[in-house]
């Protein structure tokens, strides 16, 4: 796949934006889970959900 410099920068920027969005969604999900159960989400479960949302 041949990308121009501008195309690569655009792709990198879109990927960074997608990662930020996924992290925001994961944070909201973790906070909702915490609020509904009044306790912290186990790290293992949080990482699993975060990985799922990033895909």
Per-residue model confidence (pLDDT) at position 12: 92
3-state helix, strand, coil in the chain (%, to 5): 80, 0, 20
Residues (pLDDT < 70) of the chain are 1-3, 34-41, 55
Contact (Cβ atoms closer than 8 angstroms) between residue 55 and residue 31: no
- Contact residues for 30 (Cβ-Cβ < 8 A; gap 6+): 41, 46, 49
What does the pLDDT look like over 21-35, one tens digit per residue? 988 888 888 877 766
| 52: number of Cβ within 10 Å | 11
pLDDT for residue 51: 83
Q: Return the pLDDT at 44.
A: 79
Task: Determine the length of the chain.
Answer: 55
**How confident is the model at residue 30, as a pLDDT?**
80
């Amino acid at each position: 796949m041949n990308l121009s410099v501008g195309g690569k920068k655009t792709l990198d920027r879109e990927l960074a934006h997608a990662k930020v969005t996924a992290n925001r969604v994961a944070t909201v999900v973790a906070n909702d889970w915490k609020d509904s159960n009044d306790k912290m989400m186990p790290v293992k479960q949080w990482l699993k959900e975060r990985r799922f949302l990033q895909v």
